[in-house]
Structure formats: structure tokens, C-alpha cells
A and B are shown apart, each in its own frame.
Chain A
Amino acid sequence: MRIHLFIACYNDTLFPRTGMAVVNLLERLGHEVVFPTSQTCCGQMHYNTGYHAEALPIVRKLLHEFLDAETIVVPSASCVAMMRDHYELMAHNANDLHMMGDVKSFLPRVFEFSELITDKLGLTDVGAYFPHRVTYHPSCHSLRLLNVGDRPVRLLQGVEGLQYTPMEGSDQCCGFGGTFAVKNAEVSSAMLADKIGCVKKSNAEFVAALDNSCLMQIDGGLHRELGSRDRIRPVHLAEILNSTRKNPLTAESLAWEGATA
């Protein structure tokens, strides 16, 4: 299958490892990955902060870039939620029938990463190997807006050697919330403190999610509290699924230097 990748601007800049994992995994599964290099952002930051006029051309650009793509994977649940929840509304508000047509054709072709693997590719076991205790943080947008349900947990449970340790209060927001994290930084970090308590209680070595933005928040809080000492490592689900006996993902390889692989 020919699969187009929309990486998301923050993954591109801050979490290239996730994109590399998606590419390597899909290629290992026998698919061809296409990355339109002019892509940038889905418009979520602008839209959710209230800059609706500014978001519009960003969205139009993205729609144009993926006109010919048959299948699109996005390793960021909140970007997919932005697309599904707001693109039609934006086209409607802009009174742009052409854009509305593009959106209607675009949306059925878009898959969040775990949706792609389970629904489109029909897999729960991708031949991954990751002999660690892993807990899962259902990001709000994957949980409530995309309703991914137990897809990510089924994928984790399909990984050889992986011990899934459920998280208490898993449905609680980590406090990230985009610009909320800086506009209401203090409340955001109070919410984070609660989440970190739950993460620690799970007794996991790794905390996985479908959104690196939430993981950045959790990582930022954990690092502030514990420094770079031995601690729970946040990791995108794609990176765990890309880990094999031959090329295992280790705590050491999660350091940034690993990004230049």
C-alpha cells in the first residue's frame, strides 16, 4: 500500500524519532511511504487559540498537498481531531464550496496511526519486540474526539515481551492543552502533577501515547522533578511498534543523539 505521511509540525521539529519509526515500521510491513516535503501544520494551534482567519490558509495548503494521496497516516491524534472536528466547519464558515469538497474527500482517507494499523492494515501484532513494562496515557483527543478505544492497548498487548501495566486515572487530562500550557501555565502544571502521580503509580518503565505533545508535557514534568536520573520514559506508540529483536528500542536510544540514526 502507498501511504502518505502527515508528520505534524511539532513531531517534525521536536520528535523526528516518531516519524522515523512510522516510516521504518510501515516499510517493514511492506508498504511504501510518501512524505510530501512542503507540508507543515494542520492549523490546530491557530484554530484552537482563536486565530481562525490565520488557520484557514494553513488548512487549505494541507488539503492541496494531500489531494492525490490514497491513504494518509498521522501520528498525532490531536491533529486528526482538528481535521475531523473543524475542517468542515472552517470550509462552511469560509463559504468555500471548493474547500468543502476537498475536505469531504480528504477526511475518509485520513487515519490516526493506531487506526491505520488496526483498521486499515488489520493488524494487532506487527512483529514488534519490547521487553519492558509499559503504561498507556490515552490523550484526551484520541480518547474523546477520535474514540480510538482500546486500539492502542491491543497493539501494545500484541508486542512480544511487553508487559502492559494499566494506569489509574488514565482518562484524566495531562494538562497540556496547547497554548493552555503557557496561558494558564500554573493550572496546567497542577494538572500535570496529578497525571505524573498516576504515571508513577503504574510502576511502568515507559509511558506510551498517540500524542507527543502530551508526552512532552509529562516528560517536562518528570524531568523537572527527577532530572535525567533513571525515570519513566515517554514514548510514542509507533516507536514501540517499530522496536524489533533485531533493532530494539532501548532507554539509551531514546536520548536525542539517537535521532540522527
Chain B
Amino acid sequence: MTVRVGHTAEKPAFPILAHELLQDDQTRRNVRHATNVIRNKRALRVEEMPDWQDLRTAAHAIKTHTLLHLPHYLEEFERNCIRAGGQVHWARDADEANTIAIRLIRKAAARLAVEHPEVIKVKTMTSDEIGMNRALEREGITPWETDLADMIVQMGKDEPSHIVVPALHKNRHQVRELFLQNMGLTELGTEAEDLTGAARHYLRKKFLEVGIGISGANFAIAETGSVCVVESEGNGRMCVTMPKTLITLIGIEKVIPKFDDLEVFLQLLPRSATGERMNPYNSIWTGVTPGDGPEQFHVILLDNGRTRMMANVRERETLNCIRCGACLNQCPVYRETGGHAYGSIYSGPIGAILSPQLNGMKYSRSLPYASSLCGACYEVCPVKINIPETLIHLRGKIVEQDQNTLAGKLSQESMGMKMAAHLFEHPKQYEAAQRLARTGQGLFEKDGQLVNLPGMAAGWTQYRDLRALPKQSFREWWKRNRTNRGDGSNWSGNE
């Protein structure tokens, strides 16, 4: 299997990428501004919902149930999709999915009698996950991103920095520059209306000319075989209705059992994602209808590492994700660095747990550590994914992996942790270590502060000061001032 998550295999670790991004004041300002705006809108729209917590609980329950019976619901979806005139393809990994897509595009292009196939694409992060654009281009197929933000990212030969707002790191002025360079314009204003006007003009031609569309899906409904995409622009509606052939790429975890389940998710998703009560465009389509919409409809159901996550309850929960991006906007780490620091198209807290798991813990191994475990992500997650708990679980897996290698065993961190664990299990040695630290700190002490500490502690003193250890520990004070009462200690451990 060739599970792939974008270009995670080629990316440096989070602290290295974060270092670069922290120097980029413009991007940081853009990220801060955009996340603030969405956060505030979300808070407003969530506050007005008296049953928000019940909705979260319901969504978690639906997702848990579905994942526990995933084969059943996927097959039900397949049956109903085919019955309605759709065709369903199963892809185990990125390469399989791309191969299927390329084959379908070639066939459709032949029917349309076009020599150089082009496709219009919308709302499909999953296609970024499998590196679809690169794969298509290698085969001489030109993909056009039609979601405004995705188009901006594609024009800038950039990468998405946010799950919902892929060009969140760009401001209006930067977008204007890109449009001027890429749309053959000589004049363009900087107002949102100017920019969307230019994009509309540019994209309308593509919608009318290109006969093959590729979309993602927010939900695949087993009961009816329907597919649902929600969006704000209407470009998605164009993309899924105008082409003769539509190919929809769906991660297998996107299936929900019943049409009625949308009631829960369509309340949670827009409020969490963009702070809207309802998405301006909610497209739901079922198979094909003669004379209305695409004549050919294909679904590619993608695994790409998802099944592997099903075995463990803590890992499986990650597949609850409905890609709302609320955890990104709320995350104090994401807000400092933006999405590119994660080196994965899935960034922020959800990216930090999803990417390494999809990759089978081979890549993105620095991401579970890119969190202070503050818990803000879990608090806002509409499907109640306990992200902090999952981060800790994945850290445990990484440490376990590392302990199987000599370098991992002998790393500074591993040795330090084992030494500390030993001290914590042996109170007398722990007390001795406290005294030793107090004596030893003289080497690094300057005016009551510790500076230029060695090893891992250097990370602390590089950016912050640290008060020197006080002259006595609490336990020493206690023994001097309170021991006449007995300490109630009953520890008879191995000293």
C-alpha cells in the first residue's frame, strides 16, 4: 500500500517549519486576523443554540455507531448509489485512487472528444491528501481549482494552510497581486467585491467550457446513496451540476447512515466552520437524472490509511472529523504559526492527530508534540474528538517506537525521562537530587536567575528566565517545622 498524505514524507519537523513561520510577520498577522474573525463569529452562532451540547453528543454518537458498522454502511451506500445511476469505485490508497480518476477522466475526455483533458475541481481536500493534482498533471490532465481559496493556492503554487479556508494566510492585497499576474488583468481593486468579481469572470468560463468535474464530499448518505457538499460560494454547485461527468472522491469515514442524520451535522458544521447559521449552498445529489446535471457520476471511496485507524477506540475517534476547522481557529499554537508549520495539508490540532495516523506513524511524527495540551480544540470540536487525549496516546506510540531503536533508547530525552522516573520512585534519591541540583545550579546562576542551561533545558533559557531553586525545598521546611506530628507516611517502597 502507498498511503500518502500530501507531501508529509518530504517535510521537516514542526519546530523547524515553525521557526521559519514565526519570522514571517505578514503571514502571522493574516492568520491572527482571520482566525479571530471566524472565532468570534463561531462563538456568536454557538451561543444562540440552547441544545449545542446535545447536538455535539448526538454527532459523536452517530459517528461512533457508523464507524463501528462501517462496512455495512459503505455497502449500503454503494448499492443505493448504483441503483440511482451512479458508479462506485474502491481505492485502497492514494495511487489506486489517482489511477481510477485518471482512467475515468481519459474515458470522459474521449466521449467529449477533447485532446488535452481538463478538469474543474471543488471542495476536495482529500484530493490534496492523495496528491491528485500532481498525478493528473503528470498524465497531461490540467486540473482547475474552482473554490476561490483553492484557486488562490493553486495560482500561487502554494499549499493550503487551513482545512476550511485554504488561503487563510493570504490577505486581500496579496490575492490581488496573484490575480493580476495570473488572470491577464491590468487593473484590479483590493475590495472583496473587486476580487470576487474578477474570480467570477475567470471561473465562469471554466464552468462553461470544461466538461469534467471532480468534487469532494462532506457526507455520503448510505440510506439514499446521496452525496452532500456544503459551501459558501456557489462554485461548488456549478462544479457538481454543469460538467457531463462528475467524479466525487470520498474518504470512507464520510458516510452517515440516514438522510435525517444531516439534521445534526448541518447545524453543527456551518456554525463551527464559518460561524454561519446555514451554509449558503447545500448541494445534495443522488445518482444521475436524465436531462439534469452530469450524465455520468462516479464515486471513488478512499481508504488511504483509514481502516488501519479502526482497531483502536482512541484512534478511531479521529475519523469522526467533519473538517470544520474550528480546532484550528481556536488553537493557540496554530494561531502563532499558521498551517504551513504542520507540513501536512491537515494542519492544526486535527492535523496533528490525523496526519501521523494516516501515515501509519511513519511521517508527521513531530506533530503530536505541537500542542500545549490546553484543550481548547476539544472544547469546540462539534463531534467531540478528544484531541488532547489522542495527542497523548500518539506520543505514547511514538515513544514506544523509539524505544525499539538504540538511538531512541539513548536519546537525551529518553535517558532523562528514565532517570527522572527512577528518582520519583525512590524518595531518598529524589531528595538527594534536589540538593544536588541546588548545589549544581551555581554554575548557571546569575543574579538569582538560571541562564544558558544545558541539554533540553536550553530550550527554556533561550527564551525565558528561570528563578534559581530556593534554599530549601518544601519537604525540608516541613521536616524542620512540622515533623513532631509524624508525617502519616506509609510508603515502604524499595529504597
Q: Which of A206-221 contact B (CB under 8 A)?
A: 216-217, 219-221
A20, CB-defined interface residue at 8 Å: yes
A-contacting 9-mer, from B15-23, B154-162, B229-237, B243-251: B15-23
A-contacting 9-mer, from B51-59, B259-267, B414-422: B414-422
Q: Is the CB of B487 within 8 A of A34?
A: yes
Q: Is the CB of B336 within 8 A of A48?
A: no
Contacting B375 at CB < 8 Å: which of A41, A140, A180, A259?
A: A140
Q: Is the CB of A187 within 8 A of B465?
A: no
Interface size on B, residues (CB 8 A): 75
A9, CB-defined interface residue at 8 Å: yes
A68 to B22, CA, bound (A): 51
A148, CB-defined interface residue at 8 Å: no
Contacting B418 at CB < 8 Å: which of A40, A54, A220, A260?
A: A54
Residue of B22, B374, B447 with highest tally of chain A CB at under 10 A: B374
Q: Is the CB of A14 within 8 A of B470?
A: yes
A23 to B460, CA, bound (A): 31
Q: Is the CB of B465 within 8 A of A181?
A: no
Q: Is the CB of A34 within 8 A of B374?
A: no
A132, CB-defined interface residue at 8 Å: no
Q: Is the CB of A14 within 8 A of B467?
A: yes
Q: Is the CB of B389 within 8 A of A36?
A: no
Q: Is the CB of B466 within 8 A of A220?
A: yes
A190 to B19, CA, bound (A): 11
User: Per-residue 0/1 for A61-94: is the Cβ within 8 Å of any B Cβ (1 yes, 0 no)?
Assistant: 1001101110000000000000001100000000
Contacting A13 at CB < 8 Å: which of B400, B459, B469, B491?
A: B469
Q: Is the CB of B427 within 8 A of A187?
A: no
> Given A12-B475, A40-B427, A185-B459, are A217 and B369 neighbors across the interface (CB < 8 Å)?
no
Q: Is the CB of A47 within 8 A of B18?
A: no
A-contacting 9-mer, from B89-97, B129-137, B214-222, B477-485: B477-485
Residue of B22, B398, B475, B487 with highest tally of chain A CB at under 10 A: B475
Residues of B within 8 A of A47 (CB): 392
Contacting A256 at CB < 8 Å: which of B437, B460, B467?
A: B467
Q: Is the CB of B420 within 8 A of A46?
A: yes
Residue of A7, A16, A19, A61 with highest tally of chain B CB at under 10 A: A16
Residues of B within 8 A of A40 (CB): 423-425, 427, 430
A175, CB-defined interface residue at 8 Å: yes
Q: Is the CB of A35 within 8 A of B427?
A: no
A11, CB-defined interface residue at 8 Å: yes
> Given A54-B421, A58-B425, are A228 and B447 neighbors across the interface (CB < 8 Å)?
yes
Q: Is the CB of B470 within 8 A of A16?
A: yes
Contacting B427 at CB < 8 Å: which of A17, A34, A37, A219?
A: A37
Q: Is the CB of B372 within 8 A of A191?
A: yes
Residues of B within 8 A of A39 (CB): 427, 489, 491
> Given A13-B437, A54-B421, A187-B333, are A49 and B399 neighbors across the interface (CB < 8 Å)?
yes
Q: How far is the CB of B434 from chain A (nearest CB, A)?
A: 5
Residues of B within 8 A of A52 (CB): 396, 399
**Smallest CB gap from A192: residue in B:** B464
B376, CB-defined interface residue at 8 Å: yes
Residues of A within 8 A of B459 (CB): 181-183, 185
Q: Which of B439-495 contact A (CB under 8 A)?
A: 447-449, 456-460, 462-479, 482, 485, 487-491, 493
CB<8 Å pairs between A and B, sample of 8: A14-B469, A50-B397, A58-B421, A144-B375, A173-B332, A173-B372, A187-B15, A223-B465
Interface, chain B (partner A; CB < 8 A)? 14-15, 18-19, 22, 332-333, 336-337, 368-376, 378-379, 389, 392, 394-400, 413, 417-418, 420-421, 423-425, 427, 430, 434, 437, 447-449, 456-460, 462-479, 482, 485, 487-491, 493
Interface, chain A (partner B; CB < 8 A)? 4, 7, 9, 11-20, 23, 32-41, 43, 45-52, 54-55, 57-58, 61, 64-65, 67-69, 85-86, 140-141, 144-145, 171-173, 175-192, 194, 216-217, 219-221, 223-224, 228, 255-257, 259-260
